[in-house]
Amino acid sequence: MITVQSLHHAFLIGKKGKEKKVDVLKGINFDVQQGEIVSIVGKSGSGKSTLLQVIAGFLKPNAGSVYVNGTETAAFTEKQSAAFRLDHFGFIFQNFQLLPGQNVVENIELPLKLKGVSPVIRQKKVQDMLKRVGLTEVADHYPNELSGGQQQRVSIARAMITDPPIVLADEPTGSLDMQTEQEILQLMQQLNRESNVTFIIITHDEEVASIADRILRMTDGLLTEEMQHVI
If residue 179 lies in a helix (H) or strand (E), which one and from where to where?
A: helix 178-195
State the helix-helix crossing angle for 148-160 and 119-133, rounded to 10 degrees.
Answer: 130
pLDDT at 227: 65
| Alpha carbon distances (Å) from 190 to 15, 58, 132, 197, 202 | 48, 28, 10, 10, 18
**Total of domains in the chain:** 1
Full residue range of the structural domain in which residue 213 is found: 2-228
pLDDT at 69: 92
| Alpha carbon distances (Å) from 203 to 110, 129, 141, 142, 168 | 26, 26, 29, 28, 11
Please state the rounded mean pLDDT for residues 82-98.
Answer: 94
- The total of other beta-carbon atoms located within 10 Å of residue 61's CB is 22
Q: Are 197 and 165 in contact (CB under 8 A)?
A: yes
Beta bridge partners of 196: none
pLDDT at 231: 47
- The total of other beta-carbon atoms located within 10 Å of residue 25's CB is 25
Average pLDDT, the chain: 93
Q: Is the pLDDT score of 13 beyond 90?
A: no
Q: Is the pLDDT score of 229 beyond 70?
A: no
Backbone phi and psi for residue 174, each to the nearest 5 degrees, phi listed first: -65, -20
> pLDDT by residue (tens digit) across 106-161?
999 999 999 999 999 999 999 999 999 999 999 999 999 999 999 999 999 999 99
Please report, for the domain that includes residue 52, its CATH number: 3.40.50.300
Please state the rounded mean pLDDT for residues 206-221.
Answer: 93
Q: What is the per-residue DSSP string for 112-178?
A: HHHTT--HHHHHHHHHHHHHHHT-GGGTT--GGGS-HHHHHHHHHHHHHTT--SEEEEESTTTTS-H
Percentage of the chain modeled with pLDDT above 70 = 97
| Cα angle for residues 97, 98, 101 (degrees, 5° grid) | 135
